[in-house]
Amino acid sequence: MSETEYRVTTKVADLRGIYFCAALIASDGEHEERNLKAGGDETGMMTATRSFFNQRADTWDRTGAAERKAVSERLIHGLGIKPGSKVLDVGCGTGLIIPWLLQEVGAEGRVTALDIAERMLWIAREKHERPNVEYIHADISHTPFLDQSFDEVVCHNCFPHVSDKETAVREMFRVLKPGGRVSICHNERRQAINAMHHGIGRDVGGDMLPDETEMKAMFTRAGFQEIMLFNKSDAYMLQAYRCAQRRVSRGSGKDRFLPVKERKAEKAEIQLDG
């Protein structure tokens, strides 16, 4: 499909307006249908993770310390997301970071909030129904978006819960535009996150954030470049870019493609100790 823009045309929504089934059309008229169907089994989303978060959706906003949320707000504002950007909020939950993303992208930008747990999405949508926010019920490993749809992919406090991380990272790469960036962020350091999940046990007891070597290797395998990772006392951030490519003719008919740095890496401006 030549057009990079995606548009959800068939909005098969539940009463709360969450899109379960999406047919996608590019502006050149080509259609692409992707694996989103109403109901659980057909989506492959009848997972323990989905039901764990669905069960906690109603009380989710009462959990989490205020100071941790303040760290999250600083992290999101520190990303330097440009006005007008199209941002994918992966594992949006009840929409904690949506207002901060909206402040960054402005009226010309767009936030697409995606979650595997529909009850989380219902609450997010009730709280933040705006013309430039849409809610998609999908697993990040199999999304309905066309290639190169987003400027930014932000995954806040979600990555450890993604069951097929390797596929998810490849999907993040696929939906990013050349020059686009992924940010995996947490309002705690890796060791604290993993200890917390271990302590909760049950369906999230094994949901771990891999160590630095494994994370960097996974993002490299997916094609990302300029991978930056910090893991400090009150925050964790991995950022990586989908670099554009330029064709270099070798005269033999076998062209090579080299990465082009489209923009300078912008490090999160959060103050960290440790």
Under the rule (CB under 6 A), what is the footprint of ligand SAM? 49, 53, 91-93, 96, 114-117, 120, 139-141, 156-158, 161-162
Query: Which amino acid appears at position 83 of this protein?
Result: P
**Closer to ligand SAM at the Cβ: 91 or 180?**
91
The least CB distance from residue 69 to ligand SAM, in Å, is 8
The least CB distance from residue 163 to ligand SAM, in Å, is 6
**Closer to ligand SAM at the Cβ: 146 or 154?**
154
The least CB distance from residue 123 to ligand SAM, in Å, is 10
Tokens found for residue 46? 């009848």
Picking from 198, 237, 202, 240, the residue whose alpha carbon sits closest to that of residue 219 is 240
b (16+ CB within 10 A) / e for 193-227: bbeebeeeeebbeebbbeeeeebbebbeebbbeeb
Task: Name the strand (E) or helix (H) holding 178.
Answer: strand 176-186
- Residue 13 burial (10 A CB sphere; 0-12, 13-18, 19+): middle
Residue found under tokens 């068939």: 10
Q: Which residues contact 101 (CB under 8 A, 6 or more apart)?
A: 76, 81, 87, 89, 111, 154
**Closer to ligand SAM at the Cβ: 53 or 243?**
53
The least CB distance from residue 62 to ligand SAM, in Å, is 12
**Closer to ligand SAM at the Cβ: 6 or 25?**
6
Q: Which residue of the chain is nearest ligand SAM when measured via CB?
A: 93
**Closer to ligand SAM at the Cβ: 78 or 93?**
93
The least CB distance from residue 71 to ligand SAM, in Å, is 11
